[in-house]
Every structure is written in structure tokens, then in C-alpha cells.
């Protein structure tokens, strides 16, 4: 501290805006998606008027913690990311992996807050130096970042105001997105419509919804429909027990690119991994740096699905990439419901990773809203071109921000709770951390 002059620009304003984006009734291990997914948009503005933005999963706890970090940030040079992180750790303390929770998604606060601030600062830094964020991460290894189709079992419904209702005027993927998919035939139809629209070259199915037989049948139906050149993955979000995972994992060995979080915890993942030839991937059992040592000692997975929102930002994800290279782990990317600021950040990170052997996850096709002035991102053969403009390369659409914030106020949701949503459809339904 103080060895050199911190010249700024200095953070002068911080705007925290919760938004609610339309989300269809998607099923997962924890229950059902609500009609809206919550995100939080952070905007930092410097003393010389440069704006930097970021997007993270929203909930009232994260928003309150963001609010209470404001006094630490105002007046700080945007380049001082190390100092900012230390100030946040001092204020909020470190988090353990137990605070992640048992749900498929991550519930920690500090990692999300730091990520939100880091990405917004890097957007500003990019604008100051006139370079895209990917160049701040060491530079571009590829011009296009490939994503995978992400299929969900779902009830009929468009989400948002329509809820379980549909818009009869919709066509193409917009119509298919509203259709029910509750069996293998429904999943194949969904995959065809999504791939026709986005050109995805690999496919993931969100499992952990129906008993494994039906989900494994859906995987074989996808193989039948798409042939051996389209890599397939299934993610039961840790709902299977070890025996189930080994039994069905062996059956799917000829058709899977990787098996994602079949079981809960590093020890169980290691047992399954020893029994199968198929690589295992995770966004649930190894989710922070303090879990890396046990991951390596136990051998719990082959591929870590990073996510800059909960691995503590873009630079942390690059650190994770180095660790993965050192220990022979693959690295790919996890996703949750999101709009274009998150997608832009994911694309910059994906472009900077030294190796990218797997197409990244994205929920983006499930969203119809957008919050950036350039509108919905274009996918070409499943890939997104890396933005070349300074910073993230996306600007906030302030009308959309106001409208989506109004959605947030109107919908009354303050945190994601898929169990409560599921109980509205199936009274008494309970989340079980291991089901089959």
C-alpha cells in the first residue's frame, strides 16, 4: 500500500439494480424454475464518467451485501482489484464450501460480490486502455467461443406473465421453448428445435428430475437422433447414489462425452470415477480453491466447470485454469439463467482460456429478455464471436433495465426457491439431496 500513486480513475458511483427476467417452467433436481429468474446488475461509474457493468445471480442477501460494500469502493482506483478483494474479505470474512448449499446453484455471497465488482472494474479498465476484457486476461486464444445446447425437462409454459400459458403466435424455437418436454421424445424435439435455431454442436441434458431409467433413455434417444458426432452430457445434479451412477454410467459409456455431477460429494464422485471410463465433470463437488487439494488427493473429477460468478471473478477463473493444467484437469464452464452482460463476460473468459476442449454451458436460449443495447447475441454454429470493442463490448440498455427492474418489483420474488415453485404444482413435494 502506498508504494506507488494510485491515479485512478476512481469509483464515484455504484448502482445496484435487481432485475427479473422471464424464465419458462424448467424442471431440475431442486424443483421448478419460477416464472422469473433473478439477476442483479451492477454499474460502477468513475470520477471521469466511465461506466462499467456486470451481472450476477440475484437474491436479496447478495444485494444487501453489495449495498454494504459501497463505502469500501467509493474513491478506490478501479485498477486496484487486489486491494478491493482484500477489503471485501476483511469486511465479509472468507466463505467455506458449506455455505454453497445443497442446491444445484451456488448460494455464497462474497464470491458473487467480488465477481460483480471485478467484472465491472475490468469493463472500465478495458475502456481506459482501449482493449477488450479478453486482452486483460492475457489475450485471445480463439475468435469464437463454442457453447452447448442445454436441454431441460419442462412443463408447458412460456414463463413470465404467461406462466404455464403459451403465446400461440410464437414460431420456431420461441414456440418450442414453451412446449412441454416430459419424456425422451419431448427432449429430442426440444433438442432439434434448439439446435436448429442456435447451431449447437454438442448437447447437455439437465437430469435429476425423473427416475434415471427415463433420463438415460432420453440420452440414447438423443444419440439415435443426432448420431455419434454430437457429444452428449447429462447432469443429474448429484441426485444419484453411487450404485445408480455406476450402473447407468456404464450403460452410457459408449455415448457420453462426460457425466456431470452424478453423485454428491468428492468421495462419492471419486468412487464413481474409478468405476467408469467416462470423464466426470462438476460444478457441485469442487467449487472453490479450498476444495482443490482434496479433489486432487481423492481424484473426484476430470473436468471442473468454472463459473466466474462463483469462482470469484474472471482472473480467479484464469488461476483455476492454471491449476487445472497443472493437475491434468479439464476446464469448462457452468451457467445459470442469465442475459447478455454475463454472456459477454463468459465469452471473454472462454476466449482467453489456454485450452477449450468442451463447448461451454449456457442457459441463454431459455431467456427472451435482453439488457444490452445490441440486443440478443447471435450464435453461429453454436458459437459466439468475441467482442472486439474496449471492455466487455456491451452497453446497458437503460429502458430494458428499468422494465426488468419493474418486473422484479412486480413479481415479488426475492430469492430463488425451486422447491416452493414445485410445491405449487405438486403439493408436498420435497427436495431430496440424493434421490435414486
Quickly list DSSP for 250-303.
HHHTTTEEEEE--SSSHHHHHHHHHH-SS-EEESSSS-SGGGHHHHHHHT--SE
Shortest Cβ distance from residue 170 to ligand GKR (Å)? Answer: 22
- 239 lines the binding site for ligand GKR (CB under 6 A): no
Q: Does 104 bind ligand GKR (CB under 6 A)?
A: yes
Phi/psi for 154 (5° steps) reads: -155, 155
Instruction: Tell me how many residues contact ligand GKR (CB under 6 A).
Output: 12
Residues with a catalytic annotation lie at 206, 334
Mask for 46-85, x = binds ligand GKR (CB under 6 A)? ----------------------------------------
Under rule CB under 5 A, which residues in 282-311 are in contact with Mg ion?
A: 283
The rounded distance, in Å, linking the Cα atoms of 381 and 200 is 6
Instruction: Tell me how far, at minimum, the Cβ of 301 lies from ligand GKR, in Å.
Output: 13
| Residue from the set 112, 177, 206, 309 that interacts with ligand GKR by CB under 6 A | 206
The least CB distance from residue 84 to ligand GKR, in Å, is: 26
Residue 63 vs 287, nearer CB to Mg ion: 287
CB of 162 to ligand GKR, least distance (A): 19
**Spatial distance between the Cα atoms of 361 and 2, rounded to a whole number of angstroms:** 42
| 279 in Cβ contact with 259 (< 8 Å) | yes
Q: Which is nearer to ligand GKR, 206 or 273 (CB)?
A: 206
Stretch that binds Mg ion, among 25-33, 79-87, 230-238, 311-319 (CB under 5 A): 230-238
The contact mask relative to ligand GKR for 388-417 (x = CB under 6 A, - = no) is ------------------------------
Length of the chain: 436
Question: Distances in Å between the alpha carbon of 305 and those of 53, 277, 343?
Answer: 24, 19, 15
What distance in Å separates the CA atoms of residue 386 and residue 153, rounded to the nearest whole number? 31
Report in angstroms how near the CB of residue 206 gets to Mg ion at its nearest: 8
Pick one of ligand GKR, Mg ion, none as the site partner of residue 397 (Cβ within 5 to 8 A by kind). Answer: none
Instruction: Please give the Cα distance from 209 to 237 (Å, whole number).
Output: 9
Helix H or strand E segment including 38: strand 36-46
Give one DSSP letter per residue of 1-21, joined into a string: --SS----PBEEEEEEEEEEE
Contact call for residues 25 and 33 (beta carbons, < 8 A): yes
Residues in region 269-298 near ligand GKR by CB under 6 A = 283
206 binds, among ligand GKR, Mg ion, none (CB under 5 to 8 A by kind): ligand GKR
Q: How many CB atoms lie within 10 A of CB 10?
A: 16
**Chain position whose Cβ is nearest to ligand GKR:** 28
Site residues (CB under 6 A) for ligand GKR, limited to 327-346: 334-337
235 lies in the site for Mg ion, by CB under 5 A: yes
Block residue for cell numbers 466463505 = 95
Closest to ligand GKR by CB, 104 vs 262, is 104
We find the least distance from the C-beta atom of residue 77 to ligand GKR, in angstroms, to be 34
What share of residues in the chain are helix, strand, coil (percent, to 5)?
A: 40, 20, 40
Nearest distance from C-beta of residue 237 to Mg ion, angstroms: 6
The DSSP line for 327-355 is TT-EEEE---S--HHHHHHHHHHHHHSS-
Question: Would you call 73 helix, strand, or coil by DSSP?
Answer: helix
Question: Which residues bind to ligand GKR, rule: CB under 6 A?
Answer: 26, 28, 104-105, 206, 235, 237, 283, 334-337
Question: Which residues bind to Mg ion, rule: CB under 5 A?
Answer: 235, 260, 283
Amino acid at each position: 500500500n502506498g508504494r506507488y500513486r494510485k491515479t485512478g480513475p476512481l469509483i464515484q458511483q455504484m448502482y445496484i439494480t435487481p432485475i427479473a427476467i422471464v424464465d419458462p417452467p424448467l424442471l431440475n433436481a431442486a424443483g421448478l424454475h419460477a416464472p422469473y429468474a433473478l439477476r442483479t446488475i451492477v454499474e460502477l461509474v468513475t470520477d471521469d464518467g466511465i461506466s462499467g457493468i456486470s451481472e450476477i445471480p440475484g437474491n436479496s442477501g447478495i444485494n444487501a451485501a453489495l449495498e454494504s460494500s459501497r463505502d469500501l469502493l467509493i474513491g478506490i482506483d478501479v485498477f486496484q482489484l487486489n486491494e478491493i478483494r482484500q477489503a471485501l474479505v476483511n469486511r465479509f470474512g472468507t466463505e467455506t464450501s458449506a455455505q454453497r448449499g445443497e442446491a444445484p446453484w451456488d448460494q455464497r455471497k462474497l464470491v458473487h460480490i467480488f465477481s460483480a465488482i471485478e467484472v465491472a472494474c475490468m469493463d472500465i479498465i478495458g475502456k481506459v486502455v482501449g482493449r477488450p476484457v479478453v486482452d486483460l486476461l492475457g489475450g485471445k486464444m480463439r475468435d469464437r467461443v463454442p457453447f452447448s445446447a442445454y436441454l431441460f425437462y419442462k412443463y408447458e409454459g412460456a414463463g413470465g406473465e404467461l406462466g404455464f400459458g403459451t403465446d400461440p403466435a410464437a414460431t420456431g424455437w420461441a414456440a418450442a421453448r414453451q412446449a412441454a418436454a416430459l419424456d425422451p421424445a419431448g427432449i429430442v424435439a426440444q433438442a432439434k428445435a434448439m439446435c436448429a435455431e442456435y447451431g449447437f454442436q454438442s448437447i447437455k441434458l439437465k437430469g435429476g428430475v425423473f427416475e434415471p431409467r427415463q433420463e438415460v433413455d432420453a440420452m440414447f434417444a438423443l444419440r439415435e437422433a443426432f448420431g455419434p458426432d454430437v457429444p452428449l452430457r447429462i447432469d443429474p445434479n448429484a441426485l444419484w447414489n453411487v450404485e445408480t451412477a455406476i450402473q447407468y454410467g456404464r450403460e452410457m459409456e459408449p455415448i457420453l462425452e462426460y457425466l456431470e455431477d452424478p453423485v454428491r460429494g468428492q468421495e462419492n464422485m471419486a468412487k464413481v470415477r474409478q468405476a467408469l471410463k467416462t470423464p466426470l465433470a462438476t460444478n457441485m463437488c469442487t467449487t472453490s480453491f479450498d476444495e482443490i487439494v482434496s479433489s486432487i488427493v481423492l481424484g473426484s473429477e476430470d473436468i471442473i466447470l468454472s463459473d466466474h460468478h462463483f469462482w470469484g471473478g474472471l482472473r480467479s477463473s484464469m488461476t483455476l485454469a492454471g491449476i487445472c493444467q497443472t493437475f491434468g484437469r479439464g476446464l469448462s464452464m457452468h451457467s445459470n439463467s442469465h442475459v447478455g452482460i454475463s454472456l459477454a463476460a463468459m465469452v471473454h473468459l472462454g476466449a482467453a482460456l489456454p485450452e477449450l476442449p468442451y463447448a461451454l454451458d449456457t442457459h441463454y436460449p431459455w431467456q427472451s429478455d435482453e439488457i444490452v443495447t445490441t440486443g440478443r447475441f447471435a450464435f453461429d454454429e453454436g458459437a459466439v464471436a468475441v467482442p472486439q470493442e474496449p471492455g466487455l463490448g456491451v452497453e446497458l440498455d437503460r429502458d430494458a433495465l428499468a422494465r426488468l427492474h419493474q418486473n422484479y418489483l412486480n413479481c415479488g420474488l426475492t430469492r430463488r426457491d425451486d422447491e416452493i415453485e414445485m410445491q405449487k404444482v405438486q403439493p408436498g413435494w420435497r427436495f431430496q439431496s440424493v434421490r435414486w
